[in-house]
Structure 1
Amino acid sequence: MSRFGKAKANNVDSLAGFRAQKKDTVISHGVLNAARKSGQLNLSSRGLSEVPQNVYRLNIDPPEDAHQNVSFDASDRWWEQTDLTKLLLSSNQLTHLSDDIRLLAGLNILDLHDNQLSSLPSALGELQELHQLRLSHNQLTSLPEELCTLKNLRSLTIQQNLLESLPEQVGHLENLSELDLSRNHLKGLPSSLGCLIGLQKLNLCHNKLTCLPDSLRQLKNVKMLDCSNNQLTHIPASLSEMVALEQLYLRHNKLCLLPRLSAPTLKELYVGNNQIEQLETEQLECLTAISILELRDNKLKTIPEQITSLSTLTRLDLTNNDITTLLASLSLLPNLKVLLLEGNPLRGIRRDLLTKGTNELLKYLRGRIQEKPQRADEGHTALTLPSQARFNEQKIRTLKLLEFSEKQADQIPNELFDAAAGEDVTTANFSKNQMTSIPSRTATWWWFSSTAGQGQHGSNNQLDELPPEMKNLTKLCSIILNYNRFRFFPEVLYHIVTLETVLLGNNQVSAVDPNRLMKLDHLSTLDLSNNDLLNIPPELGLCTNLRCLILDGNPFRTPRAAILAKGTDAVLEYLRSRITT
């Protein structure tokens, strides 16, 4: 018998010596000991097909050194080390997660993204301290109901998986502030999604959604909602109740109309690559705070005149539509910086003009604006003012803007207010003149114009007081008084509770009353830079609505410049710390 035959007869594997012995994946004791000290363990990109058992038992089993007769200094006492709070397992080849994950009960962050997980263990629900759970780029087809018991979870990212539905219990994640479900196969959403009242970011893009649940109206804190690349044919009007919404993405859907949303804080609306054929006046009137409006790759043929009322608009994208005629009044939009028109069959505009940029295009459109025809029974359509300059009534009619700036005048002509009579003016600009006071006619106009005054601009004058009648401007949101001669915070401003922005930079203000400022619940921006403030009252730190507080250029000693440089939150925190109880 040959030696090979003998080996076979004795049931001996002749290739055993060439086969590598399979060993349990282990992590070095040095790495584990470091994790015991820091509470963090990074095992990303290690080619792991399973989580080593000694990782699961990190907080249970003593280190190998503990079995030896050695002495430990203060930094090496394993029995005094911290529990694991952060475990990173991303970019491996994990196909499953053991129930032993429950042994790491102190975890705050668990990162499992970019693996090959097709399911999750129910034991995941026992990690009650978990704040962040990252599951993106796996092969998950469902989520265990137990995951929805994680009451402390703040961020849940599950993009790029194979989810077709969500458990109804997802609404129990009451502290969730970020939820990313993008790039899955979702065809519908559970109504309980509306119970996530702490949610601020919700990403639903690249799914198969045909409608949105009405329960989304309950998400009062959501600032960003992305529903791009779905199959939506309409957007429920109830989304208007999402009062904090600032960014809404609806690209690549099947919308035929611009959604009618009266969200008061909506600044960015993206509806490119849909089937919108016309814009309705009512739809545009709702966009009171819009800054970016993307309408590219639709089927628009005309743009209504009402679009010129969007005074906050900075970017308008009309690329690749069917627009043949362009409104010359677009050039009157006061904040428009970017206007995109490529890919439209425009008539009367040279193609090379579109390539020269927004400034040249707006300049050309302004040149095309014609004055209103003069009738025999009325005076001049453009009034001659003391500065010998003319003003365009179209700004008052279409932009609701009352403008008399850079005239070097010491008073505002009565003719200007006559022209504004009957118009619901929302913005007044009297900057860069030489006014020392607000004339009585102005105060009277303010008194009767209760709908006017969403914004007042009186910078670069010589004002030192404001008329008390201004308190009747019940919708005044913004007032700009930079470069004047105010010695104190104007008394009347303490009474205008709708104020959101007050700019008083470069005056002579020497004092401000924080207790009265606290009553301005909407005040978020306050500029007191370059004034005469010798001290900043600590109680100003209690104005927690402030998001921008500017104090540079005043002669006070505290807060110091290093604290001011850290931003508004740091300044307010510092001031609160100095309040004596």
Structure 2
Amino acid sequence: MNILFNIRSNQISDVPVALGTLTSLGTLDLRNNKISTFPLELCTLHLSVLDLSNNNLTGLPSELGMMTSLRRLLLSGNPIRTIRSSLVMGPTPALLKHLCGRLQTNEDSRPTAASSGNIFGAGCNEQVAFAARESSSTRNLILRKLDLDHVPAVVIEKENLLSLDLSYNKIGQLPVNLSSCSSLEVLNLEGNKISEWPGAVFAALPNLQRLVLASNPIQELPSKCFSCLTSLKSLDLSTISARLPLPPALSIMTILEELRLRRMRLQEFPSEVFALGRLRVLDLGQNSLSHIPSEISSLKSLEELDISDNSIMSLPPELGLLETSLQALKLDGNPLKSIRRSVLDRGTKAILQYLKLKLPQPASS
């Protein structure tokens, strides 16, 4: 369900950070206000549409680039100076990619807490304490990029927490007593050092809807690792070391809407996804796929399909049957030979229409 929150034309200058707790929010309409900054607390939302047009924004937080669910980011009528106008007014995926790249650059050049001149002075302990105090009202705790090697005790004390962001730290394992955060709906662990699947912890988080484990050195995914994650709507396993378990595994998560398996050394298309009727986003980029099955047409809710940087030479005509739902088809980095470059250059809709015309015609009676 795409829940809409509309506070346009209200003369507001600050976005309420409490919106960061609305984890089911799909569309956020903030146009025609006086907003000058977009808060970091909202960058962990799972929005499809964000309308910030006609405000006073001069820039955007790099963290917004991590909102991979975002399909439309509307920014016209803002005096943005830190991003090229061609990006601001161009396709949303290109802008998100730019912001994400800027975030990585900042991460690579980030000084240590002791020398960075941050307002907390002594280092990450003060930052953790400050974030914990802020989360009391928002129920959204952001502890990303603090060089943490363990989950702070203050997290365990936040039993009513809805969203926890521990991304880009050095955490090697999750404490079992994280289960005290049983209300948790969003857990972001991207870019840590987790090597074993924390199944016992996940089993104690029955309300978890979004789980990000990308870029962790997880060595093995147990055969029933997803059996306790049936409430998930979004799963990101990109760039983990492990291979997918044999079926049935993914198909257990019947309400999954977003699945990201980028850079997982996949050689075959994971056919289990065809059982995921609610899937909106499927990211299989940077793998070794050579074939897309015709059953792809069964994913009637699919809005984004990323199969870039694979070894795909042709696409099934049946993909054209998704013309009404599929908004973004990413194909760059494939040795495609069955579709003319002039068609590819015209974008998703033209490609799908071309494929649809290639479908076998029913025999006339």
Partner of 1:224: 210
Q: Distance in 1 between matches of 2:350 and 2:306?
A: 16
CA positional deviation for 1:290: 0.3
Selected match of 1:342 from 332, 343, 346: 332
Q: Distance in 2 between matches of 1:321 and 1:367?
A: 25
Partner of 1:191: 176
Q: Distance in 2 between matches of 1:222 and 1:113?
A: 33
Partner of 2:146: 161
Q: Distance in 1 between matches of 2:154 and 2:124?
A: 20
Q: Distance in 1 between matches of 2:113 and 2:360?
A: 69
Alpha-carbon contact 1:275-1:299 (below 8 Å) kept: yes
CA positional deviation for 1:318: 0.7
Cα gap change, 1:347 to 1:267, in 2 (>3 Å) = same
Alpha-carbon contact 1:252-1:274 (below 8 Å) kept: yes
Alpha-carbon contact 2:296-2:318 (below 8 Å) kept: no
Cα gap change, 1:338 to 1:175, in 2 (>3 Å) = same
Deviations 1:482-505 (A, max 9, x none): xxxxxxxxxxxxxxxxxxxxxxxx
CA RMSD, 1 decimal: 3.3
Deviations 1:64-92 (A, max 9, x none): xxxxxxxxxxxxxxxxxxxxxxxxxxxxx
Corresponding letter in the other structure for 2:160:
N
Question: How do residues 232-311 of structure 1 correspond to structure 2 at under 5 angstroms?
Answer: 232-236=218-222, 237-257=224-244, 260-261=249-250, 262-281=252-271, 283-311=272-300
Corresponding letter in the other structure for 2:228:
E
Partner of 1:410: none
CA positional deviation for 1:332: 1.1
Residue aligned with 2:225, SS: helix
Alpha-carbon contact 1:133-1:157 (below 8 Å) kept: no
Q: Sequence identity, in percent?
A: 30
Partner of 2:357: 367
Alpha-carbon contact 1:154-1:176 (below 8 Å) kept: yes
Q: Distance in 1 between matches of 2:138 and 2:207?
A: 17
Selected match of 1:117 from 115, 120, 123: 123
CA positional deviation for 1:297: 1.0
Residue aligned with 1:241, SS: coil
Question: How do residues 47-62 of structure 1 correspond to structure 2 at under 5 angstroms?
Answer: none
Are 1:178 and 2:160 counterparts?
no
Corresponding letter in the other structure for 1:228:
A
Partner of 2:342: 352
Deviations 1:461-517 (A, max 9, x none): xxxxxxxxxxxxxxxxxxxxxxxxxxxxxxxxxxxxxxxxxxxxxxxxxxxxxxxxx
Q: Distance in 2 between matches of 1:258 and 1:308?
A: 24
CA positional deviation for 1:174: 2.1
Alpha-carbon contact 2:221-2:244 (below 8 Å) kept: no
Corresponding letter in the other structure for 2:281:
I
Partner of 1:327: 316
Q: Distance in 2 between matches of 1:290 and 1:355?
A: 26
CA positional deviation for 1:162: 1.9
Alpha-carbon contact 1:285-1:306 (below 8 Å) kept: yes
Alpha-carbon contact 1:166-1:189 (below 8 Å) kept: yes
Cα gap change, 1:337 to 1:280, in 2 (>3 Å) = same
CA positional deviation for 1:358: 1.1
Alpha-carbon contact 1:255-1:275 (below 8 Å) kept: no
Partner of 2:105: none
Cα gap change, 1:293 to 1:113, in 2 (>3 Å) = farther
Cα gap change, 1:181 to 1:119, in 2 (>3 Å) = same
Cα gap change, 1:256 to 1:118, in 2 (>3 Å) = closer
CA positional deviation for 1:155: 3.3
Q: Which runs of 5+ in 2 are unaligned?
A: 1-111
Alpha-carbon contact 1:180-1:204 (below 8 Å) kept: yes
Q: Distance in 1 between matches of 2:255 and 2:330?
A: 24
Q: Which runs of 5+ in 1 are unaligned?
A: 1-92, 96-111, 125-129, 136-149, 372-380, 385-581
Q: Distance in 2 between matches of 1:117 and 1:364?
A: 57
Q: Distance in 1 between matches of 2:211 and 2:298?
A: 25
Q: Distance in 1 between matches of 2:123 and 2:173?
A: 23
Question: How do residues 369-388 of structure 1 correspond to structure 2 at under 5 angstroms?
Answer: 369-371=359-361, 382=363
CA positional deviation for 1:264: 2.6
Larger Rg: 1
Alpha-carbon contact 1:252-1:272 (below 8 Å) kept: yes
TM-score normalized by the length of structure 1: 0.38
Deviations 1:123-156 (A, max 9, x none): x7xxxxx994359xxxxxxxxxxxxxx9x99333
Selected match of 2:194 from 209, 222, 226: 209
CA positional deviation for 1:114: 5.7
How many residues align? The count is 244
Residue aligned with 2:226, SS: helix
Corresponding letter in the other structure for 2:158:
L
Corresponding letter in the other structure for 1:208:
K
Residue aligned with 2:285, SS: coil
Alpha-carbon contact 1:255-1:276 (below 8 Å) kept: no
Cα gap change, 1:329 to 1:157, in 2 (>3 Å) = same
Alpha-carbon contact 2:158-2:181 (below 8 Å) kept: yes
Residue aligned with 1:313, SS: coil
CA positional deviation for 1:365: 0.9
CA positional deviation for 1:254: 2.7
Alpha-carbon contact 1:231-1:253 (below 8 Å) kept: yes
Partner of 2:92: none
Corresponding letter in the other structure for 1:298:
N
CA positional deviation for 1:244: 3.0
Q: Distance in 1 between matches of 2:293 and 2:113?
A: 56
Deviations 1:250-304 (A, max 9, x none): 22323443893222321111222331111232x2234221001111111111122
Deviations 1:408-458 (A, max 9, x none): xxxxxxxxxxxxxxxxxxxxxxxxxxxxxxxxxxxxxxxxxxxxxxxxxxx
Question: How do residues 482-521 of structure 1 correspond to structure 2 at under 5 angstroms?
Answer: none
Cα gap change, 1:209 to 1:355, in 2 (>3 Å) = same
Instruction: Between the two structures, name the one with larger relative contact order (CA 8 Å, sep ≥ 6).
Output: 2
Deviations 1:506-540 (A, max 9, x none): xxxxxxxxxxxxxxxxxxxxxxxxxxxxxxxxxxx
Question: How do residues 421-436 of structure 1 correspond to structure 2 at under 5 angstroms?
Answer: none
